[in-house]
Structure 1
Amino acid sequence: MFGTAAAHAQTASVESDTPSGEVQPEDDGEIVVTAQQREQRLVDVPVPVTQLSGELLDTFRIQGMGELSLYTPGLLIQEQSVQRSGFNLRGLTQDDSSPVSEPSISIFVDGIDNSRQAGAISELLDIDNIQVIRGPQGTLFGRGSVIGVLAIETRRPTNEFSGSVSAEVGEYDLFNVTGIVNAPLVDQKLAVRAAVRFKKRDGVVRNLAIPDGTLNGIDTFYGRGTIRFTPTEQITSDLIFTYQEDHPPATQFKSIVVAPAGGDVSPFTPAAQDRPDAGIDRTAWGLTWDNRIELSDALSLRSFTGFRRVKAAERWDGDGTGYAYIIGNQFTLQKQYSEELRLSWQPDPSFTVVGGGSWFHEKVEDTIALGLNEQYMLGSFPIITAPTRPVTATTSLGGRPVTSMNYNAQMRNNDRTSLSAYVNVSKTFFDRLTIDAGLRYTHDDATTDAAAIRRSFDDVAPIALPFGLFGNSNGVFVSRNNKFSFWTPRAAVSFKILPDLNIYAGVARGLRSGVVDATWSRSAISLATFNIVQPEEVMNYEAGIKWKFGPMNADLTFFKYDYTNLQVRDPSTILGSLTNAGKAEGKGFEASLRGGVIPGLNLITSYAYTDAGYTLFFDSTGRDLSGNRFRLSPEHKASLGLAYERPVTEMLSVTARLTQFYQSRTFFNADNLPYESQGGYGLTNIGLGLTSPERGWRVEAYVNNLFDRDYLLDLGNTGKSFGLPTAIRGEPRIAGIRFNYDF
């Protein structure tokens, strides 16, 4: 069943002898997680965690990270493009594209941090398991795990030859080819595994401003190769190379103020975005070296060495109309190096100590630019509060020519080194009561280099913004360094009422490191001035119950958290300057149930109630946003997944699957404007197929968004700052067929 373990299941909270990444299914619905940096039964862990096995991902055909929202309580992933994404957990959203911001939700792939926005989205191909760990996890994971962690483990080579090929075609000229192969090279010593995917699809939105133009498409190549070297039974070494390249068409940013010719302002009808060069180009690759050494029966050492490079460029139409008014460009180059050493000591099953240290260094070079047509700024253009204004371009003012493109750019380079050390101790008394306690110390050294430039494409001096939209230093960089140090403790207690019924309570402190941000004067040519944004702090309290009965796993968690110095983007400024919001709080509960209901029928269902928002927040204009809900934070979120398989002959089975998802109203910005929100909606995905396990093939026809429900991913965006909010729609109904062959 799809609820099987991600690694060898244990009946007690002990570290398994099975190297991480190898799947050994159990027939009793046992689930093993590593939320405390060691393998434990899900029912024994005093942490709210959802584990999605590779088998579950295959069953529900989950290929992208945005689809994880459908199966995880409290998680909402807004995948508007591979370059820009929003990860929301328990109401808090991580979606900042600034090169100097630190993550609040950590994303780890094979132990390596992938959290920065430009490189966060990746294909989910040949995955062993995914764990979504809710609540502050900085003690054990570090790197900004303020409100949670998304930990992805890929499948590793084994000593048996195997592989698979699959092909998929569908509407909007969808074409998807995937191949996986595993091969032993030296018996029990050396094995390799490779996985590749090429996926392409036309955009789902017509763009009337460009001949045959479409928006919101897919063009992705993904590849991964892993070498496993096992010189002795005590040593396992995995070298993993990952590469992804994306060249999709532009993202839809349709104006909800100005309609295209013959059209309307609905986000769900054709758009007219005038930039022929718009689109995304992104290349992300990385190298991971994962080593595990069993030093003795009680002591093991794990090391993770990583390098990542992400180069991304995005060009977009900021006004979302057929008029050349606002254009946006962002160019990012990210390099990171990391090393973690972890020791696990378990002298007996009732006592475990996990400790270690990490070094992380990143260098991010980023340019974000906006071009403005001052002929419309000084003339007339509709805005959300005056939608009937005529479009008038003023070519001269007081005898002076008016520029058609005033181009403004800010360049910021982030050079950050982070050092940390941590320890976590777990002790069980009387085989029932377990106490966990941990502490991490982190020291960050952050340097920001910043400059701004302004120029006109037509060499006409600007009138409306003579010193630029952001300011102007004539390209001269200055730098500022600051250091941040902090402690992140945690404690939890759990009690086994029965061997498979556990209650727990925990408290944890989470901290998001401080930031060195830059601004410039807009009234004179000047060098950057720096704003030190203080670390944000959260205190999180939670209690829950976990119960495994037969093949089923159930859990219920209640939580409450309180933030101080919450780092947010000011919604009243261009691009939103980073500031501390004062105070915020959230509370709610999460529930899930999964496993085999009857032979052949498996269930995964979840529900989350979240009440989260600002308790003290004034923006730079003095507006009181206290009491507003967080961005992308629905009060209610529920999902139901069913997978059924029934033999019809000795060689053939029929399969069916259903996913039903619902979320209540969400606001897209901190000011909670009614017209920048999405009402509650539900999505239904279905699939029906045939499979022959004996012969290794399966075929499935599917429909996503069966009832063609209209819904939004985002609303506001660049145009919001100019009174021209733009919308990004979710995917419409898409049908297709998949074929897979295992060998």
Structure 2
Amino acid sequence: MNRIAWATCASVLALAAVPAASQDLPQPPKDGANSTASGGDIIVTATRSATLLSKTPIAMTAVAGDQLVQEGVANPTQLAEKVPNVSIVRNNGLQITIRGVTSTDGTEKGDPSAAFLVNGVYVARPQAQEVSFFDLERVEVLRGPQGTLYGRNTTAGLINLISARPKFDLGAQVDASYESYNHYNVTAVVNAPVVTDVLAVRLAGNFDRYDSYVKNTSGDGFSLDPYKDNKSARLSVLFKPTSDISLLLVGDYSKLKGTRIGSVPTTNFFTGAEPLTNLNATQPAQAIYNTRGASSDQLRSSNTPQLWSPYVDNTDKGIMGELNIGMGPFTLTYLGSYRESERHEHATGLGGLNRSTFDGNYWQTSHEVRLAYDHGPLKVQAGGYYFKEESGIYFFLLNPQDLGLPAVATRFGFPQDPTIASNKSAFGQASYELLPKLRLTAGVRYSSDDKSRVGATVFDTDPAAGIPGNRVTLQINNASRNFSKTTWRGGIDYDSPIGLLYASVSTGYKAGGFNDGCLAGPGAPSRCVYTVKELYYQPETLTAYEAGFKLHTADNSLRLNASVFHYDYQGLQLSQVGDFGGCGLCQLTTNAAKAKIDGVELEAYLKPANALQIEMGFNWLDARYAQYNPGRVGPKGPVSLDFNGHPLNRSPKVSGRIGATYTIDLGSAGSLVTNVMLNYSSKYYLTDLANLIDYIQPAYTKTDLSITYKAANDKYYIGAYVLNVENNVVLTNAGWGNFGRDGTVNFQDPRRFGVRAGIKF
């Protein structure tokens, strides 16, 4: 089918007459202007209107694009070090965990619990979420459910990347870095006005390439390098015919290559990591963390053979647009997008057992219309949203006789085409200034989700076997379901003389879905083993209670942010891959009944002297199952455990950071900036629910150092840095292997040394 998509949009948010009680709120950033404000504050659009970060009644972190470049934050995984209670790791694409809430299903039918957006547009597939991280205006990370204004799959929160928009000035810049593991990262930007104050364009390109952190010790002769070899481009066009009308169009294209080999055997870190077999056990098996004094290089070594040369050859492209029309106190906004992705990958799966191929085609489109009213004490937003995505994927394991298939089988796999998901929703939110500087906010959203898939589990055969079509269908993976939910938010905030005080109650929702497999019953294939309750899983919902403050001194030499929260989390969707009751190699998602999450987040920013800035953060998090009894069928019979009180994954009880930046003024020669940042995390769990094994990452620290020379007026800079001085190998995923093979673990980046430089024209 020929699919043509166009979308139009704009970046200006036209706010009308601001009441006297709100005179300290900023006007929205003009098209092409940056989003920084005085005193280290930043202008954000988390509430779909322009506000100062310090006056936005949401637990959120915003980082300006220039700060990202200066601190060497070159991919989303590094954001976790700057945002409280957030983990961003690579696990079949990006896996985002916010305050203990996450999703482990990165497949074509799965949904994340934290939304990832680019310029306000939801990007559904985790594999396409890392390519947009260059030439950014800012990044906004919202913690807690955002089920009213953003809706779809924001149970945990969201990350919104806002790309730099065209300016009505001629200019160019280049930023480049080189670090350990042959990591090259180069971004080049050209900005030009075409018609003064009416039409401007901006072209940005990025090259990001580095070798694998895994050392291949198998002797198979295959290189794991480069891990990543990405080339991306983005073209933005801004049309602003009047002060009340603006249109922004953004098109992007990325070519993604590399091997993506980033895991090592579980036995590098753990002993005694075997599935639970004790029928009387009440707790999961405990893997013993034992690195036996191994070095970082040894821990990152893998003796798992590659049976052929691994590679990734993927493309990602899209267009989005935003149109804004101001009409007095009203603003009409249309936000639309269309994206396509292709994946072609070769790997070795199941612990070196089988060669595998993956081919997939994906497309998504979204359309949102909002009408905003802002006059006097009342602010109102209302709108509608439509989203649809479709994919066709073909994943096969070659030479599958080791999986118990007959000798005539040439490959075993999962052709699933098409998988379709769509969402329709309507929403509204209003804020009213009840008393001077005291505001009440209420919002509601209705969402309806449709999901379906046509697929199968099959094995193909040698033509000489004489089987019709050379294919045997083991089970049918067809399924279809509809889910709907109303989410809401209520809040109060007060802009006191010393800062903002706020409290809220909000809800989040993520649609249910279906598993790989089919229903058991008379006439069903032998591998159809599921009941209706097992084949389909239900939505997850979350109710969050939160209160906080954002305080500051008059000169902003001290800023103090704090939040305290409690979550009631229902129907957690938990996914595992394995052989569940004879289904073969399949993925099973189930709903854990309940979880409870409590936490405290504290952040402080101090400027005791003009040359010295200090930042500190402290987080306490108690994220645990409240009612969950997972089980598995072991060699001695069924095992069922009581997970009440068991910690959620990637949820350290205590974490924090402390850092300092000291600037030496060199007068007309510029300045010299030194920075040190220490991050700390207590231990956290990485539980393999398919095999009921607890893997635990011990407490660790991570220290980053940098020194940068900046020329006068920031015309150019040059610097050096070292990241993860301790060279700790910090685990992000762990699991037992399938079919008797060793499991694997993934880890954060090891120590890297680097230099970076940039220039503006």
Query: For 1:720 and 1:527, how far apart are their aligned partners in 2?
Result: 20
**What is the CA-CA distance between 1:660 and the residue it aligns to?**
1.8
Match among 394, 406, 414 for residue 419 of structure 2: 414
Match among 626, 634, 640 for residue 643 of structure 2: 626
Partner of 2:170: 161
Match among 709, 729, 734 for residue 715 of structure 1: 734
Partner of 2:157: 148
1:373-407 Cα distance to aligned partner (Å, 9 max, x none): 545x78xxxxxxxxxxxxxxxxxxxxx99689762
Partner of 1:277: 309
Partner of 1:444: 449
Query: For 1:401 and 1:98, how far apart are their aligned partners in 2?
Result: 28
**What is the CA-CA distance between 1:172 and the residue it aligns to?**
2.2
Contact 2:117/2:160, CA 8 A, preserved across alignment: yes
Partner of 2:249: 239
Q: Structure 1 residues 331, 92: CA separation in 2 closer, same or farther (over 3 Å shift)?
A: farther
Query: For 2:357 and 2:14, how far apart are their aligned partners in 1?
Result: 48
Query: For 2:758 and 2:566, how far apart are their aligned partners in 1?
Result: 45
Match among 486, 489, 501 for residue 499 of structure 2: 501
Q: Which runs of 5+ in 1 are unaligned?
A: 1-5, 379-399, 463-470
Contact 2:213/2:262, CA 8 A, preserved across alignment: no
Query: For 1:328 and 1:532, how far apart are their aligned partners in 2?
Result: 28
| 1:178-327 equivalence runs, <5 A | 178-208=187-217, 209-211=219-221, 213-214=223-224, 217-257=227-267, 267-296=299-328, 298-320=329-351, 324-327=352-355
**What is the CA-CA distance between 1:210 and the residue it aligns to?**
3.8
| 1:700-711 equivalence runs, <5 A | 700-711=719-730
Contact 1:562/1:584, CA 8 A, preserved across alignment: yes
Partner of 1:492: 491
**What is the CA-CA distance between 1:680 and the residue it aligns to?**
1.3
Matched, 1:130 2:139: yes
Query: For 1:276 and 1:458, how far apart are their aligned partners in 2?
Result: 24
Contact 1:700/1:737, CA 8 A, preserved across alignment: yes
| 1:256-405 equivalence runs, <5 A | 256-257=266-267, 267-296=299-328, 298-320=329-351, 324-348=352-376, 350-370=377-397, 374-375=401-402
Q: Determine helix, strand or coil for the equivalent of 1:576.
A: strand
Matched, 1:106 2:137: no
Query: For 1:736 and 1:131, how far apart are their aligned partners in 2?
Result: 27
Contact 1:315/1:329, CA 8 A, preserved across alignment: yes
1:39-89 Cα distance to aligned partner (Å, 9 max, x none): 223333222111111122122121100000010001110135xx5221010
Contact 2:457/2:477, CA 8 A, preserved across alignment: no
Which range moves more in the overlay, 672-681 or 67-76? Answer: 672-681
Partner of 2:282: none
Q: Determine helix, strand or coil for the equivalent of 1:136.
A: coil
Partner of 2:458: 453
Q: Determine helix, strand or coil for the equivalent of 1:222.
A: strand
1:195-219 Cα distance to aligned partner (Å, 9 max, x none): 1111222222221334362367221
Q: Determine helix, strand or coil for the equivalent of 1:214.
A: coil
Contact 1:631/1:670, CA 8 A, preserved across alignment: no
Query: For 1:737 and 1:615, how far apart are their aligned partners in 2?
Result: 48
Partner of 1:519: 517
Q: Determine helix, strand or coil for the equivalent of 2:54.
A: helix
The number of equivalent residue pairs is 696
Matched, 1:566 2:572: yes
Matched, 1:679 2:710: no
Matched, 1:423 2:423: no
Q: Structure 1 residues 730, 405: CA separation in 2 closer, same or farther (over 3 Å shift)?
A: farther
Query: For 1:339 and 1:7, how far apart are their aligned partners in 2?
Result: 18
Query: For 1:538 and 1:701, how far apart are their aligned partners in 2?
Result: 44
**What is the CA-CA distance between 1:157 and the residue it aligns to?**
0.6
**What is the CA-CA distance between 1:175 and the residue it aligns to?**
2.4
**What is the CA-CA distance between 1:154 and the residue it aligns to?**
0.9
**What is the CA-CA distance between 1:17 and the residue it aligns to?**
4.5
**What is the CA-CA distance between 1:501 and the residue it aligns to?**
2.1
TM-score, length-scaled by structure 2: 0.84
Partner of 2:626: 615
Q: Which amino acid is 2:671 matched to?
A: S
Q: Which amino acid is 1:38 matched to?
A: S
Contact 2:697/2:731, CA 8 A, preserved across alignment: yes
Contact 1:343/1:355, CA 8 A, preserved across alignment: yes
1:425-451 Cα distance to aligned partner (Å, 9 max, x none): 101122132111000011122222121
Q: Which runs of 5+ in 2 are unaligned?
A: 1-11, 270-293, 633-638
Partner of 1:395: none
Which range moves more in the overlay, 523-532 or 113-122? Answer: 523-532
Match among 587, 592, 598 for residue 609 of structure 2: 598
Partner of 2:661: 643
Q: Structure 1 residues 501, 123: CA separation in 2 closer, same or farther (over 3 Å shift)?
A: same
Contact 2:137/2:163, CA 8 A, preserved across alignment: yes
Query: For 1:623 and 1:703, how far apart are their aligned partners in 2?
Result: 47
Match among 542, 546, 551 for residue 546 of structure 2: 542
| 1:687-702 equivalence runs, <5 A | 687-694=706-713, 696-702=715-721
Contact 2:416/2:453, CA 8 A, preserved across alignment: no
Q: Which amino acid is 1:696 matched to?
A: K
Contact 2:28/2:49, CA 8 A, preserved across alignment: no
Q: Which amino acid is 1:43 matched to?
A: S
Q: Structure 1 residues 555, 258: CA separation in 2 closer, same or farther (over 3 Å shift)?
A: closer
1:20-57 Cα distance to aligned partner (Å, 9 max, x none): 66315433223332222212233332221111111221
Partner of 2:277: none
Partner of 1:725: 743
Q: Determine helix, strand or coil for the equivalent of 2:149.
A: helix
Which range moves more in the overlay, 561-570 or 597-606? Answer: 597-606
1:641-672 Cα distance to aligned partner (Å, 9 max, x none): 43332222422321212222222212222549
RMSD value, Cα: 3.3
Q: Determine helix, strand or coil for the equivalent of 1:72.
A: coil
Partner of 2:64: 53
Which range moves more in the overlay, 175-184 or 661-670? Answer: 661-670
Q: Structure 1 residues 17, 38: CA separation in 2 closer, same or farther (over 3 Å shift)?
A: closer
**What is the CA-CA distance between 1:474 and the residue it aligns to?**
6.2
Q: Structure 1 residues 51, 452: CA separation in 2 closer, same or farther (over 3 Å shift)?
A: same
Q: Which amino acid is 1:427 matched to?
A: Y
Q: Which amino acid is 1:307 matched to?
A: Y
